[in-house]
């Protein structure tokens, strides 16, 4: 209910100077990705999933974490602050 996933395949991407297959994961969340310690745990789990499902080496994957505030997400005609 609180996770949304968008997959865009076939995009031209270059990672570390190489156009070989790669992936970029953007993770944004309220109160879940706000510290290095939290993101280290999330990163390990995401890398395990992505390397297994996509068949990519971890050096071909980049994860970017974006902490959000409740007022930055709109839902049900309001913002998360009030839900």
Would you state the pLDDT for residue 37? 96
Would you state the pLDDT for residue 1? 63
Residue (of 16, 27, 66) closest to 49 by Cα position: 27
Write down the CATH number for the domain with range 23-82: 3.30.429.10
Query: Is the pLDDT confidence value at 17 over 70?
Result: yes
C-alpha to C-alpha distance for 19 and 44, rounded to whole angstroms:
24
Q: Which two tokens stand for residue 81?
A: 């602050």
Q: Coil, strand, or helix at residue 23?
A: strand
Over residues 26-54, mean pLDDT: 94
Query: Is the pLDDT confidence value at 6 over 70?
Result: yes
């Amino acid at each position: 209910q609180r996770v949304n996933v968008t997959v865009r395949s076939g995009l031209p991407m270059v990672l570390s100077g190489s156009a070989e297959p790669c992936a970029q994961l953007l993770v944004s969340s309220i109160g879940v990705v706000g510290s290095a310690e939290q993101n280290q745990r999330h990163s390990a789990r995401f890398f395990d999933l992505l390397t297994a499902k996509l068949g990519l080496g971890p050096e071909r994957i980049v994860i970017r974490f974006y902490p959000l505030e409740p007022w930055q997400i709109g839902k049900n005609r309001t913002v998360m602050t009030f839900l």
